[in-house]
Structure 1
Amino acid sequence: MTITGGCHCGACRYTLALGALPKAYACHCRTCQTWSGSAFSEQVLVMESAIAVTGPVVDYVFQSPSGSQSHQRMCGVCHVRLYNTNTMRAGIAVVRAGSLDRSDELDVPLHIWVKRKQPWVRLPEGAESYEEAAPPEAIVRLFSR
């Protein structure tokens, strides 16, 4: 199975070396709301080595409050964020789920920072959710589902 995605304008494309679509999670924190311009952001976690990108990728780097560096990879033409990495999570990439060609097929079993979710958002029945960040074991479960 080939898992592909890309930016809005088509200048950047990527493939994920995975056997199946990964499980996604939704983050309802204010930062993700601001970054996405929406009620929440939807992401998938993959090993950074699984991503192969073509096109004019720009790396926007910023220092997080924790002191780590966040590298936001985005299209150099339309500026759609494709994925990011963080020095606190070496080797792990957070892919913006909406940039996947088959984003409509994703399963989203995990919701985090639900204390900041918009009041009109209803979580799916049975979804795993956390008021703030998910504990490490929840992330491990996401990888193994």
Structure 2
Amino acid sequence: MKASCQCGQLRVEVPGPTIAVVACHCLACQKRSGSPFGEAAYYPHDQVQIEGRSSQFTRATDAGGTFDQFFCPDCGSTMFMRGTKNPDFTGIPIGLFDDPHAMRPVRSVWEEHRHPWVEIPTATQHFARGRVD
């Protein structure tokens, strides 16, 4: 499966769909994505092939780690992410894939920041601080 930024300069290829798709409602992901939540499909680093130039922004997480966001220096699209919570995995926003409808979130996290009108009906796991469903 292939994914690319808006201008096409930065591209990612992975072997196929993954079941590890997460919707995150934390305030930082809302700011990163410009929407009520961020989402990504996660793959082991060695399954992710990256072509093109990227810039990096690293931020602290509410859980005490760091989260690295890699984006296209030309168009600004966030192409992939890596964090200390799952250090062996790379996340790719599913909207960047050539077929963005091929995957659905199975996990919804930081739900204490979820906008009340947002529902993730495909998620079988729901997490909020101090609560796990």
Structure 1: tracts of 5 or more residues without a match? 136-145
Structure 2 residue identity aligned to 1:54:
E
Match of 2:102 in 1: 105
Residue in 2 aligned with 1:4? 2
Structure 2 residue aligned with 1:143: none
Going from structure 1 to structure 2, the CA distance change for 1:105 and 1:128 (only over 3 Å counts) comes to: same
Residue aligning to 2:128:
131
TM-score, with length taken from structure 1: 0.77
2 CA distance for matches of 1:134 and 1:47? Answer: 27
Instruction: Report the counterpart of residue 21 of structure 1 in structure 2.
Output: 17
How many residue pairs end up in the alignment? 132
SS in 1 for 2:92: strand
- In the TM superposition, residue 106 of structure 1 has moved relative to its aligned partner by 0.9
State how far apart, in whole Å, the 2-side matches of 1:93 and 1:101 are.
Answer: 18
1:35 match: 32
Structure 2: state its 5+ residue gaps.
none
Q: Give the number of the structure whose residues are more often helix, by fraction.
A: 1
2:46 is matched with 49
TM-score, normalised via structure 2 length: 0.83
Q: Please give the alpha-carbon distance, in whole angstroms, between the structure 1 residues aligned to 2:51 and 2:130.
A: 32
Inter-partner Cα distance in structure 1 for 2:95 and 2:130? 21
What pairs up with 1:67-106 in 2 under 5 angstroms?
Answer: 68-106=65-103
Secondary structure at the counterpart of residue 31 of structure 1: helix
Q: Is the 8 A contact 1:44 1:97 kept in 2?
A: yes
* Superposition deviation, residue 107 in structure 1: 2.2
Distance 2:29 2:68 in 1: 15
Aligned partners of 1:15 and 1:51 also within 8 Å: yes
Moved more, 119-128 or 38-47: 119-128
1: CA distance between counterparts of 2:91 and 2:71?
A: 12
